[in-house]
């Protein structure tokens, strides 16, 4: 198991980008795909897209982000890729339903964002869980589930 204890830099950094580009042409860049929950962690065991088992243990001063370079050697690099965040999209039929939907989301402490008259709930919670918690407004037709968005 490869132990990765720090972030070397970001793939977007000019100096690192040039080295990564050359390694990538030789097929020597490995990627670690992480979802929203995993990328927030500092300690985890993962496998790269090439099958390398890695133990990540970062200090408190560092956090994983999309493009974080965890290893950069002459013959190999390991880079973090964040999977796009998944969102569940809802629309309230009227202002009263919107208030109730907002109240439910806030009461459940769900991470949300607003765009126009749509409420986006972070999809990491699981659509079944969220839909089950909102069944009372969905069944009445006061709130419409519009599906998932990335």
For residue 115, the model assigns a pLDDT of 92
- Cα 126 off chain centre by: 13
Residues 79, 11 contacting (CB under 8 angstroms): yes
Choices 1.10.3720.10, 2.60.260.20, 3.40.50.170, 3.40.50.1360: CATH for 2-82: 2.60.260.20
Architecture of domain 87-149: 2-Layer Sandwich (3.30)
**Domain edges within the chain:** 2-82, 87-149
For residue 24, the model assigns a pLDDT of 95
pLDDT beneath 50, residues of the chain: none
pLDDT digits (tens, 9 = 90+) for 77-93: 999 999 888 899 999 99
What are the residues facing 30 on neighbouring strands? 78
For residue 127, the model assigns a pLDDT of 78
Q: What whole-number distance in Å separates Cα of residue 125 and Cα of residue 120?
A: 12
The answer to pTM > 0.85 is no
Q: What whole-number distance in Å separates Cα of residue 64 and Cα of residue 70?
A: 9
Q: What whole-number distance in Å separates Cα of residue 30 and Cα of residue 86?
A: 24
């Amino acid at each position: 198991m490869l132990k990765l204890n720090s972030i070397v830099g970001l793939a977007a950094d000019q100096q690192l980008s040039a080295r990564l580009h050359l390694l990538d042409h030789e097929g020597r860049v490995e990627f670690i795909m992480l979802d929203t929950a995993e990328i927030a962690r500092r300690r985890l065991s993962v496998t790269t897209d090439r099958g390398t088992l890695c133990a990540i243990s970062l200090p408190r001063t560092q956090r994983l982000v999309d493009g974080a370079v965890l290893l950069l050697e002459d013959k190999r690099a390991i880079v973090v890729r964040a999977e796009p965040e998944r969102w569940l999209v809802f629309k309230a039929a009227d202002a009263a339903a919107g208030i109730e939907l907002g109240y439910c989301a806030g009461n459940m402490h769900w991470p949300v964002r607003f765009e126009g008259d749509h409420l986006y709930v972070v999809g990491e919670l699981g659509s079944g869980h969220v839909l089950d918690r909102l069944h009372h407004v969905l069944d009445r037709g006061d709130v419409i589930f519009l599906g998932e968005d990335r």
